[in-house]
Structure 1
Amino acid sequence: MKMDNLQSRFNASSLEQKDLLVYLLKWTYFGITTGIIAGMGVVIFLKLLAWAIAVWTQEPGYYFFIPIALLLNSLLVCWLAPGVSGGSDKVIEAIHRRAGGYLPLSEVPVKMIATVITIASGGSAGKEGPGAQIGATLGSAWGRFLKANDEDCRKIVICGLCAGFAVVFGTPVAGAIFGVEVLFIGKILYDTLYPAFVAGLVGYYVACISGIPYLHRHISIEPNVYLIIQSILLGIVCGLIALFFIKTVCWCQQYFSGLRLSKPLKAFVGGITLTLIGYFVSPLYLGLGLELLESGVSGDSVAPGAFFWKTVATAITLGCGGTGGIITPIIVVGTSAGNLFGQLLGSMDISVYAVIGLAALLSGAVNTPVAAVIMVAELFGSDIIPYAAVSCLISYLVSGHRSVYPSQIILTGKCPSLLVDEGETIGCVGSSTRSEKKGFDRYNKYHIN
């Protein structure tokens, strides 16, 4: 009898190990192939964007053509792919709501061209949103080609999202964490983490082989108790600036939605406003804003109003109908805010505060504190981790249940007083009417096991 029990346990253990081995091989294959496909697609987009920026911005006064460029961009989107807007939030919504996280492949070329027109002409937007959407859409097409079931297709879409993020920023680990953390507040999809990491790593190496440049700089920091206290204060500041950023973007979207004009004319009006910012304030706040980012993390002082003007320019660009992502502007705003914080403290090394601000604002505005900490660690070295972690978690709490991604679902409130929001999407929180179909219902229906 005892031998029978031992044999039964051995057979069960062997079967379990066999299932795990099959699972590992299956998702290693899916992760590698998705990383290659998504990586190649995003690399094409990044090279096209870099070429367009290099050519267009050489012209003096290039920002005077923003209104016409945004008008043409709006016409292109309206005619060919009205559903192309949304960036990463559209991917999040598809993963939550659509069977298999379906994203139409036909939107990829339109997304590429529309984003290139917007950013190269001077629209303040990012490349990570389109990159993530392109990666996720190619992942969706690959999953359907493999005839995978809905559950597996959704995981493959997440892998494509992770690969896209990793390729854009050169952060394979943060890319994987971002994709499994950004979908929900209060839950990380550990069951999708392995293939997401494989896809992110493979996509990153595809980008490296293709010659995509990245901003990697090591920052050395001696253990400092005062810096911990300063990181706490900076976390509070960045949490408040994250609220300002989110509110400004939402207000601009509502303002342009309320204008009784066609979408192309709304884009033209928004373009005129951006031209005025470029002419009367500074063209540094237009486009990707990487000059501000590089100056901030290099230790050079940026203008005190940089975080404000970059926020306004981004809100106008996305509100009037421009196509692009929102995370690049967020990290530029965070870098500028941290840089200013260091200036006010009279620090000799304001680059440290700029990097902490970058991570903290990303955490507060997107609700991804773990990914934000890992991202700056990959880009700037491990010395920054404890200070960025403190600042990120505080910013994450200060921003409350708000996000630049309204499709995020709240599974666990950030504090007891916010438990009433559990089961809602961010977009439903604070609205006059609650969604009839709770976020928990969508989660239970499309839960990734």
Structure 2
Amino acid sequence: MNASAIVTFLRRLFHIRRGRRSFESPRYLLKWLLISTLIGLVAGVGAIAFYAAIHFATDFFLGRLIGYLPPSPAGEGGQTTVMSFWSATRPWLLPVVTTLGALISGIIVFNLAPEAEGHGTDAAIAAFHEGKAIRARIPLVKLVASAITIGTGGSAGREGPAAQISAGFGSILANVLRLDVQDRRIALATGIGAGIGAIFRAPLGGAILAAEILYKDDLEVETIIPALMASIIGYSVFGAWSGWQPIFATPPNLAFTSPPQLLYYVVLGVLCGLLGLLYARGFYGITHIFHRLKLPKWFKPGIGGLLVGLIGLVMPQALGMGYGWVQVSMGAGLLSLPLWVILLLPFAKILTTGLSIGSGGSGGIFGPGMVIGGMVGACFWRLCYHVFPGLPATPAPFVIVGMMALFGGIAHAPLAVMLMVAEMTGNLSMLAPAMIAVGIATILVGGTTMYTSQVPTRADSPAHRLQLSFPLLSTLSVQKAMQPLMLRFAPGQFLSQAEVLLGQHKASGVPVIDQAGNLVGVLTMADIERIPREERAQRFVNEAMHNDVLTFYPDDTLDEALEGLSTRRVSWAPVIDAEGLTGDRSVLGLISVADIVHLYRETVTKDVRRMRGLVEGTVMIETTIEPGMHLAGVALREAQLPPETLVVSIRRSSELLFPRGSSVIEPGDVVTFMVSIKAEEQLHRYLAWREAPVLPAGD
């Protein structure tokens, strides 16, 4: 296969759109295998770069300038001993370092990419729902600014930047490959899951998060398979560099073996739900305060950084990501921490996170949320140990479940967060009690969320507004609405001739088709008008036509077609043959907005209701039987129904009848048919037939 054939194959492969079978189609699956692999590779490399940048910034700012390094989790080279902050070389320099880091981050963000402000996951969610592309500079700006924020002691997580890095690449890749609007959204969401799954070494949780985090009460099911593929690729790349061990080490033989302990996990779920509410309201309360300040935007993070540094002088445990303190709290090290530190740390972490990110700094809120939840579990164990019977011998179970419950509830991603924490700790045994705690925390949280760009369900998202607002369109195919091709141009025709033909047919544009019958472009009157009038008699169609043509296949649904037309701001598009990746792109007809609206109105005005069939390849037709119709007053065995048609039910008044061969259909009955798609038109003709009325003699 030569180079041009490969290019042709790839171009047509990436233009395969979702059909009724979606990922059951081998060609569509192959397309997403390639796209997900590319996104996963970038997610893994991006996670490596971001991880290395955080550690470089931490070693330089906190290690060399201050002489203090916070503890780190076991899976990231955790320190065996916890260093005292006041034994550092220059502890008094901490407020200077946190202020300087926040100012640098603010200057970078607000001068290069203001949309990189705050936590990146929310921005990626908003881009998904609004169908917006993420600018190419965002991933790099987010990486640098977040690494500086975290490395100088700012309280932030690394999931938001990791998500925005790979989501940004997914958006860029979608533009390069010219994917349709729905596939662009899938690519962006896939990037979210791949980035988070890679940097947290939690590929399964990251993939589920890509589908779950977009909504409060729903899932984006179509993202799961691409996100699974991309997430495992990203995890493999990152793991080959960083190692394969989980982030946190847990005590051996950790397991849930005592059902009475469920009572304690109920209480823990209540505590995590309440602290989750405080985290969300506190974080956004601080954010609103900073937004109201009449100061330059780049300066506000400096104020937040100064306050974080002052808090850090009293409680250094509230600085940075805080994963090391979670690791300490899982074992005997918890007993070495002062009780007042354990009690105040969840609240201090909420405050420092709001000051670091809510002021305009850059970083994630997922990591701090898990630290807060873990410390709630540690605090609960510390207060109840030696007081109440039957508690676990180690705080690790409460710490793990606390991480799951607090952020799983407030992020409205309970399943994904449970899986992620299980992968991050290498322990699945705590999922059973976690279900209790996460469920209770989610109920207490209600509609409050950490991600303000989330919408309740798919019906509330612009991504699915057409499909769910006009469900009838999703049951109708382009083939039913398209019009035959009445006019075509050849690439070698003169523009002057094309201009005359367009005027005669009152057409805004016409497909350009080569000698082999393949679509090569589209020529519109606007394209012709860009050529000087005196040159049109010597210039050819292929010199003015545009090659970036929106096309549809006959089996595409009308909601997809209408969204594609409205997104590209065009009124019509060619319908091409869908056979083969390297086969002909022969034009079968044209589909326009007017055609879609006409078929929609025609279908609505019929006394027929069309629904998707329960069996693939079928549809359900519901109609009211009127006098004179074929079925009126006839037993089913004598009705001579069209082939591949089955009567499913008969509704007579309030009674539901199950049809038999002897069942007689009466006028007024509502009959539901199941029919194959290819036989649907025959059924419509059958139902439309009426007997001529018998006129009285003499009329």
Relative to the length of structure 1, the TM-score reads 0.86
- Supply the AA of the counterpart residue of 2:451: Y
Deviation at 1:95, TM superposition (A): 0.1
Cα distance change on mapping 1:406 and 1:286 into 2, 3 Å: same
Task: Tell whether the 8 Å contact from 1:126 to 1:325 is kept in structure 2 after alignment.
Answer: yes
- 2:330 paired residue number: 297
Determine if the alignment matches structure 1 residue 234 to structure 2 residue 273: no
Name the SS for the 2:430 alignment partner: helix
Aligned to 1:287: 320
What letter matches 2:327 in structure 1? E
Q: Distance in 2 between matches of 1:446 and 1:378?
A: 36
Amino acid at match of 1:267: P
Q: CA deviation at 1:73?
A: 1.8
1:104: which partner in 2?
Answer: 135
The equivalent position to 1:139 in structure 2, one of 137, 150, 170, is 170
Show the counterpart of 2:400: 355
Distance 1:336 1:239 in 2: 14
Residue type at the aligned position of 2:235: Y
The DSSP-based 3-state class of the residue aligned with 2:449 is coil
Gap change, CA 1:269 and 1:16, over 3 Å in 2:
closer
Give the partner amino acid of 1:83: E
Greater RCO (Cα-Cα under 8 Å, separation 6 or more): 1
C-alpha distance in structure 2 between counterparts of 1:215 and 1:299, whole Å: 18
Distance 1:66 1:216, change over 3 A: closer
Choose 319-328 or 205-214, whichever is displaced more: 205-214
Per-residue deviation, residues 222-278 of structure 1 (Å, max 9, x unmatched): 421122111111111100000000011011011111222222332222222111101
Is 1:84 aligned to 2:105, yes or no? Answer: no
2:27 is aligned with 1:22: yes
User: Gaps (5+ residues) in structure 2?
Assistant: 1-19, 67-90, 386-390, 469-558, 561-699
- 1:400 is aligned, of 432, 439, 446, to 446
Native 8 Å contact 1:63 1:283 kept in 2: no
Tell me the distance in 1 between the aligned counterparts of 2:467 and 2:46: 27
Match for residue 154 of structure 2 among 123, 126, 142 = 123
2:294 is aligned with 1:244: no
Per-residue deviation, 1:68 = 2.2
Structure 1: distance between partners of 2:200 and 2:332? 20
Change (3 A) 1:28 1:260: same
Is 1:387 the counterpart of 2:433? The answer is yes
The partner residue of 1:173 within 176, 192, 204 is 204
Moved more, 43-52 or 56-65: 56-65
Which amino acid in the other structure matches residue 268 of structure 2? L
What percentage of aligned pairs have identical amino acids?
A: 28
Higher helix share: 1
The structure with the largest alpha-carbon Rg is: 2
Q: Where does residue 238 of structure 2 map in the other structure?
A: 207
Equivalent residue letter for 2:448 = R
Q: Which moved more, 1:157-166 or 1:70-79?
A: 70-79
> Structure 1's 17 and 27: CA in aligned 2 closer, same or farther, altered over 3 A?
closer
5+ residue gaps in structure 1? 1-14, 413-422, 424-438
Partners of 1:229 and 1:140 in 2: how far apart?
A: 46
Aligned equivalents of 1:401, 1:364: Cα separation in 2: 10
Write the letter of the residue equivalent to 2:45.
M
Give the AA of the match of 1:405: Y
Structure 1 partner of 2:379:
340
- Residues 1:222 and 1:96: Cα distance change in structure 2 (over 3 Å): closer
Offset at residue 19 of structure 1 (A): 6.0
Query: How far apart are the structure 2 equivalents of 1:399 and 1:351?
Result: 24
Q: Would you say 1:411 and 2:411 are equivalent positions?
A: no
Per-residue displacement from partner, 1:30-50 (whole Å, max 9, x unpaired)?
222211122212221111111
Does the 8 Å contact 1:231/1:391 carry over to 2?
A: yes
**Alpha-carbon displacement from aligned partner over 1:151-194 (angstroms, at most 9, x marks no partner):** 11111111111110011211000000011000012212222211
Indicate how the Cα distance of structure 1 residues 110 and 222 shifts in structure 2: closer, same or farther if over 3 A, else same: closer
> Are the aligned partners of 1:364 and 1:396 in contact in 2 as well (CA < 8 Å)?
yes
1:46 to 37, 51, 75: 51
Q: Separation in 2 of the partners of 1:337 and 1:299?
A: 16
Is contact 2:202-2:423 (8 Å) kept? yes
CA deviations 1:10-30 (Å, max 9, x no partner) are xxxxx9799622222222222
Matched, 1:225 2:259: yes
Residue 568 of structure 2 corresponds to none
- Could you tell me how far 1:445 is from its partner in structure 2? 4.5
> Following the alignment from structure 2 to structure 1, what is the Cα–Cα distance between the partners of residues 421 and 284?
27
SS in 2 for 1:312: helix
Decide whether the 8 Å contact of 2:317 with 2:325 is kept in 1.
yes
Residue 367 of structure 1 and its aligned partner are, at CA, apart by 0.8
- Please state whether the residue corresponding to 2:270 is helix, strand or coil: helix
CA contact (8 A) 1:71 1:265 kept: yes
Equivalent in the alignment of 1:435 = none
Shift of 1:63: 2.1
TM-score, structure 2 length as denominator?
0.56
Q: Which residue of 2 aligns with 1:432?
A: none
How far apart in 2 are the matches of 1:234 and 1:270? Answer: 31
Structure 2 counterpart of 1:44, which letter?
A
> Which structure has the highest strand share of the two?
2
In the superposition, relative to structure 1, how do residues 42 and 445 fare at CA in structure 2: closer, same or farther (>3 Å)? farther
